[in-house]
Amino acid sequence: MDPEQINEFVVGYLKKKGFSGAAKDLEDYHHQNNGSSLSSIDYHNDPELTKLIRSFSQQEDDPTRYRESYSKLRSWAYNSLDLYKHELLRVMYPVFIHCYMDLVGKGHTQEARAFFNSFRKDHEMVHLRDLQKLEGVLSPSHLEEMEFARSLRKSKVNIKICQYSYDLLLQYLHRTESTLMLGIINEHINFQVYSGQPTSSSDDIEAVTIVGSFQDTANHINQKEIQWGLLEDSLEDRLEKTGGLLSDSEKGQGESKDGDADDSKKRSTEIGKQGSSIKKLKKDKAGNATAKVARLETSTVPPAPRVKPELALPVMSTDVEQSILEDLRNRVQLSSVAMPSVSFYTFINTHNGLNCASISHDGSLVAGGFSDSSIKVWDMAKIGQSGSGALQGENDTNDSIGGPNGRRNYTLLLGHSGPVYSATFSPPGDFVLSSSADTTIRLWSTKLNANLVCYKGHNYPVWDVQFSPFGHYFASCSHDRTARIWSMDQIQPLRIMAGHLSDVDCVQWHPNCNYIATGSSDKTVRLWDVQTGECVRIFIGHRSMVLSLAMSPDGRYMASGDEDGTIMMWDLSTARCITPLMGHNSCVWSLCYSGEGSLLASGSADCTVKLWDVTSSTKSTKAEEKNGNSNRLRSLRTFPTKSTPVHALRFSRRNLLFAAGALSKPAS
């Protein structure tokens, strides 16, 4: 090897890298020692090193090298041993996107695009949405501007890999001297090598999300302690106490009486269903009998430690409390054998304008938020009365719900100046909150049919708003990437939860009111402490935007649904996904747990309501801890609607499931 040549390489390399001073010094140095081989640097004599130096000087400006070395690495990984293949393939995705971003960053737009297109197929299945985002990045400035790209560039990806796969990879990289790949892998991947056999490919949920810098922080945050137990002295407790005093016969009477009440309500809304509801009544009893047994079983499981409320909770009037207790006492116990009845509210003639729907806790009020800034509230009980009133011949106090023109049978609430994205009823049903693209949240009274308060605080459209389980407080989330906690009596937010990397799309309260959960377009779900405003959990695993959240009534689990139709069940204390529930093939708009937490209902844009058995999951998690994977959750029933995407779901306190959606013309 000619030392002169090597010197040239070195000087060229230094110049290229911008070390002009060093290059000059080196040149001077060589000039001084011209001819003499008294070089103190030993790179002249080390063939390996010279090769390396030469490769450095060559590759820098050559965009085709990325393609070559990537495709070599790719074919090697695809031809590797089956056992280790999926682990090695996992490495390919970060390498791929960083190759692409390197190319873009160096201004080789054309080559970058060609490179991207030729290999994107490999990763489309898992990372489609990321790829769609990255595809638009075409200049170095875009890399800077785009949050996603920036976080990718800054952070390292953690990849769990077994010892042997790791050795294989290193061997390959050294043998082929693909320094380019080696550089990228070193720079952007953080291997967590473990000994033993490679894990099965299905368990790598974490590997599929590249979450940027907060993987570590997420792990850190998830160490924090959370208290997911229910509140002390909750209504359920009181029910246990009072319920224990009632003898069985009394209970039975109560049931039939209430069944009648329930019946009459239904009769008012649904004429001509008597036969079925009587049948229902009978079955309710049977269901209760089985459920009592089930309750005995579950009561042996030690309940979670009760917690004190961190917020000052509103005092509940005794009337309301009594009615709730009454409802709870007459709740139909649901399980995989006792299925709920589903009452469906179909919005017709919406002209594609219905953005959201909400159902009050007793199912009697239904609110729709429309893209023409209006909110319409229907009182289903009154609609039923006016219908049955004609039948019974008693036209009693059917006062002006219709408003001035008398024909309208809903209450029109006007006030927003942009599409209404969300509406929520307070637990007793006397207030409605709505959030809109005009960045405000408005409080409406269903008694006065008027706007009471306008809450301004968000800077961008407010995507979602939710009343707390006890009313008074509410949480909102917005395109401005924050979630905020408010109380009804103050127009300023009480807390601002910032931390999501993209829009916060949905929000949900924990049953004990001390936490809220938020789902975001950054594909994570976070749990926040209401009192401190801190993020206490990050749930990573979704592959697309999170659209809906639900908390189990016992406060231990959370379900989240995403744009792809996947529903994930999370254990709040460990921040781990218990299992993904696959079944829907379009956006999951709505999730709801049944009153005692044994069933999960999900409503989707694919025009179905699905019921999932989640009791078996809680059992199997315990089993899982002992004997590995014994699977798991299952879909119990699918109820297809007639081309009506399901926007909202609500289990009433008596476990009747209400669902709502807008009839949309099937695409012809």
Partner 1 sequence: MSIVPKETVEVIAQSIGITNLLPEAALMLAPDVEYRVREIMQEAIKCMRHSKRTTLTASDVDGALNLRNVEPIYGFASGAPFRFRKAIGHRDLFYTDDREVDFKEVIEAPLPKAPLDTEIVCHWLAIEGVQPAIPENAPLEVIRAPAENRIHEQKDGPLIDIRLPVKHVLSRELQLYFQKIAELAMSKSNPALFKEALVSLASDSGLHPLVPYFTNFIADEVSRGLNDFQLLFNLMHTVRSLLQNPHIHIEPYLHQLMPSVVTCLVSKKLGNRFSDNHWELRDFTANLVALICKRYGAVYITLQSRLTKTLVNALLDSKKALTQHYGAIQGLAALGHNVVRLLLVSNLEPYLRLLEPELDAEKQKNQTKSYEAWRVYGALLRAAGLCIHDRLKIFPPLPSPSPSFLDKGKGKIINIEPQKRKLSVDSSKNQSPRKILITMDGPDGVQSQDHTGSAPMQVDNPVENENPPQNSVQPSSSEQTSDANESESRNGKVKESGRDRAITMRAILDQIWKDDLDSGRLLVKLHELYGDRILPFIPSTEMSVFL
Interface map 439-468 toward partner 1 (x if CB under 8 A)? ---------------------xx-x-----
Q: Which of 261, 289, 337, 582 binds partner 1 (CB under 8 A)?
A: 337
Q: Binding of partner 1 at residue 343 (CB under 8 A)?
A: yes
DSSP string, 255-278: HHHHHHHHHHHHHHHSTT-HHHHH
Query: Which 131-160 positions form the footprint of partner 1 (CB under 8 A)?
Result: 133, 135-139, 142
A 10 A CB-CB count for 399 gives: 7
Residue 376: alpha-carbon gap to chain centroid: 28
Give the residue with the Cβ less far from partner 1, 154 or 619.
619
Q: Is 317 helix (H, G, I), strand (E, B) or coil?
A: coil
Q: Binding of partner 1 at residue 275 (CB under 8 A)?
A: yes
Q: Binding of partner 1 at residue 547 (CB under 8 A)?
A: yes
Query: Which 396-425 positions form the footprint of partner 1 (CB under 8 A)?
Result: 408-410, 419, 421
Interface map 55-94 toward partner 1 (x if CB under 8 A)? ----------------------------------------
With both helix axes pointing from N to C terminus, report the angle between 109-135 and 147-154 in degrees, rounded to the nearest 10: 110
Yes or no: say if 535 and 526 are a contact pair by the CB < 8 Å rule: yes
Q: Binding of partner 1 at residue 371 (CB under 8 A)?
A: yes
DSSP string, 608-627: EEEEEE-HHHHHHHHHHHHH
Least distance to partner 1, CB of residue 575, Å: 25
Sole window of 57-65, 130-138, 214-222, 567-575 interacting with partner 1 (rule: CB under 8 A): 130-138
Beta bridge partners of 250: none
DSSP 231: B
Query: Which 104-123 positions form the footprint of partner 1 (CB under 8 A)?
Result: 109-110, 113
d(CA 534, CA 499): 9
Q: Is 350 helix (H, G, I), strand (E, B) or coil?
A: coil
Q: Binding of partner 1 at residue 647 (CB under 8 A)?
A: yes
Within 42-89, strands assigned E span none
Yes or no: say if 454 and 438 are a contact pair by the CB < 8 Å rule: no
Yes or no: say if 1 and 50 are a contact pair by the CB < 8 Å rule: yes
Sole window of 353-361, 393-401, 444-452, 507-515 interacting with partner 1 (rule: CB under 8 A): 353-361
Give the residue with the Cβ less far from partner 1, 227 or 435.
435
Q: Binding of partner 1 at residue 380 (CB under 8 A)?
A: yes
Q: Is 415 helix (H, G, I), strand (E, B) or coil?
A: coil
Total number of residues that touch partner 1 (CB under 8 A): 85
With both helix axes pointing from N to C terminus, report the angle between 248-269 and 318-329 in degrees, rounded to the nearest 10: 100
Q: Binding of partner 1 at residue 351 (CB under 8 A)?
A: yes
Return the C-alpha torsion angle 392, 395, 399, 405, nearest 10.
100
Interface map 24-43 toward partner 1 (x if CB under 8 A)? --------------------
Six token digits for residue 648: 């909202």
Sole window of 15-23, 74-82, 184-192, 630-638 interacting with partner 1 (rule: CB under 8 A): 630-638
Q: Binding of partner 1 at residue 437 (CB under 8 A)?
A: yes
Q: Binding of partner 1 at residue 549 (CB under 8 A)?
A: no
Q: Binding of partner 1 at residue 629 (CB under 8 A)?
A: no
Interface map 503-522 toward partner 1 (x if CB under 8 A)? x-x---------------x-
Least distance to partner 1, CB of residue 429, Å: 16
Which residues 6+ apart lie within 8 Å of 510 measured at CB?
Answer: 228, 516, 517, 527, 551, 555
d(CA 491, CA 441): 10
Least distance to partner 1, CB of residue 118, Å: 15
Q: Binding of partner 1 at residue 609 (CB under 8 A)?
A: yes
d(CA 287, CA 291): 6
Give the residue with the Cβ less far from partner 1, 171 or 346.
346
